[in-house]
Structure 1
Amino acid sequence: MTAPSHTARARSFDSAAARYAAHRPSYPSALFDAVEDMAGHPLAGARVADVGAGTGIATALLRARGADVIAVEPGEGMTAQFRRELPGVPIVRGDGNRLPLATASLDFLTYAQSWHWTDPERSVPEALRVLRPGGALALWWNTSALDVPWIDAQTDRVQRHFGLDRVVRRNGDGTHTALDALAGRLEVARHRVRWSRRVPVDAHLANVSSHSIFLVHGEESTAAFLAEERRHLHAAFPDGTVEETYDVELLLATRP
């Protein structure tokens, strides 16, 4: 199976924006408590840009904390869905490699599940440019809790289906790459928050199929995996409700 390009995977979400909005997991309040504690100042009243905002899952939570948020999103389909979900929140087209934002204008620059789609050689200088002195760059990812046996087994099945390297154990987790990119430029603090949610089997499978690796391989390949996976899940969860467990991996760096 030919590996899809990074660009193709980044652009794939536009075709599944409604599914993404309906089924992707949110984030726990403890994550935002940690962001504030590590940054040393509150989100309430802060000027925040949420980059790679997608359908607005993180943007809505930042706004609920009292932040003055603007969203930045490159995808047309995701932007359209964002406007349906959050019609009162400003959103501009762009990405982290070239932010359409004024210099030294932000208290927080956030990337929820999206930093790994940037080129750090460009996105790190851009982050430093738009943050005010003392402003914080916060990057986070919902990662599957692989110490939970059924999650570990499902991850193996995904990797086998797509012929992926078994060393790649966390779908979408760009933590290590981000740490390497920021090393020597900013002092980075790291924090982990575990949380879980209970969803019907079909909702869980819709979440799984909204990941880029499925989107770029087409409906036939995805349907084959989902049919087999549904059997595994009903065996593991006879009541039809899946408990998804996540570790949110948070990296935060403060601009000097």
Structure 2
Amino acid sequence: MTAPSHADRARSFNAAAAQYAANRPSYPPALFDAIEELGGRSLTGARVVDVGAGTGIATELLHRRGAAVLAVEPGDGMAAQFRRTHPDIPIVRGNGNALPLATASADFLTYAQAWHWTDPTHAVPEALRVLRPGGALALWWNTTPLDIPWHAAQAVRIEKRFGTHPAVEQNGSGARAALSDPTGLLDFTGHKVRWSRRIPIDTHLANLGSHSLFLVHGPEASTTFLTEEKQLLLDTFPDGIIEETYDVDLLIATTS
């Protein structure tokens, strides 16, 4: 099989938008506390643009914090799911490489699990254009910590079958992309928040299956792997409930 392109992986979510919305993890309140502290202002009343909003998992949480939030999403399927789930939050079509927004119009630009789909040579200048003076660019990823034994064992199995576990791969790749700022004008500060959620094994497997690494390999290959994985997990968690642990890796930079 020819290796899927970056664009193929980015587009793969559109066919799995409902699965993504139902099973992907959220983010802890401590993440948004850190964004406010490091960004130098409250989210309440701030104009926030959530880029690559997907089905709106982060967008909804920003909205609940009192932000005046606008979602930007390029994908047909993801945008349609967003509108079904969050009819009260505005959304426009676009991507981080060419934001459909006025200059100096946002207090925060946020990218939840999305910056690695951009081209920083375009996305960084666009962020600097759209942010107001003193505004903040906040990028974050839920990553899988490999000091948890069952997570580490599963990551090895995924890599043997498909390649690097997507939530492990993003631990580092997103930071490298951000820190390759072509303008030299962004000075990122990093922050990490560990959190966890207890969920049924089937929810965990559906979460895994909603990642592009699985989606681009097609349903047959993914279903075979996930069926095998379910039995292995039941051997370890016979009550059918697991605790997924995440490290949210946050990078944030403010403009002058």
Instruction: Give yes or no for TM over 0.5.
Output: yes
Residue of structure 2 equivalent to 1:105:
105
The one-letter code sitting in structure 2 at the alignment partner of 1:20 is: Y
- 1:32 equivalent in alignment to 2:26: no
- Deviation of the 1:145 alpha carbon: 1.4
The answer for unaligned runs of 5 or more in structure 1 is none
- Deviation of the 1:59 alpha carbon: 0.2
Aligned 8 A contact 2:121 2:182 in 1: no
The one-letter code sitting in structure 2 at the alignment partner of 1:211 is: H
The answer for unaligned runs of 5 or more in structure 2 is none
**Cα separation, 2, equivalents of 1:222 and 1:150:** 20
* Deviations 1:34-75 (CA, angstroms, capped at 9, x unpaired): 000001100000000000000000000000000000000000
**Cα separation, 1, equivalents of 2:151 and 2:239:** 17
Over 3 Å counting, the alpha-carbon distance change for 1:4 and 1:184 in structure 2 is same
Residue of structure 2 equivalent to 1:15:
15
* Deviations 1:106-161 (CA, angstroms, capped at 9, x unpaired): 00000000000000000000000000000000000000111101001111111100
**Secondary structure at the residue paired with 2:169?**
coil
**Cα separation, 1, equivalents of 2:216 and 2:52:** 19
Residue of structure 2 equivalent to 1:147:
147
- 1:42 equivalent in alignment to 2:52: no
Q: CA RMSD in A?
A: 1.4
- Deviation of the 1:180 alpha carbon: 2.6
- Deviation of the 1:184 alpha carbon: 2.5
The one-letter code sitting in structure 1 at the alignment partner of 2:225 is: F
**Cα separation, 1, equivalents of 2:8 and 2:85:** 25
**TM-score (norm. length: structure 1):** 0.96
**Secondary structure at the residue paired with 2:181?**
helix
Aligned 8 A contact 2:94 2:100 in 1: yes
Task: Select the residue among 160, 165, 168 that pairs with 1:170.
Answer: 168
**TM-score (norm. length: structure 2):** 0.96
**Cα separation, 2, equivalents of 1:86 and 1:194:** 27
- Deviation of the 1:179 alpha carbon: 1.9
Q: How many residues align?
A: 254
Aligned 8 A contact 1:155 1:169 in 2: no
Aligned 8 A contact 2:125 2:183 in 1: no
**Secondary structure at the residue paired with 1:170?**
helix
Residue of structure 2 equivalent to 1:119:
119
Residue of structure 1 equivalent to 2:188:
188
Aligned 8 A contact 1:182 1:188 in 2: no
**Secondary structure at the residue paired with 2:43?**
coil
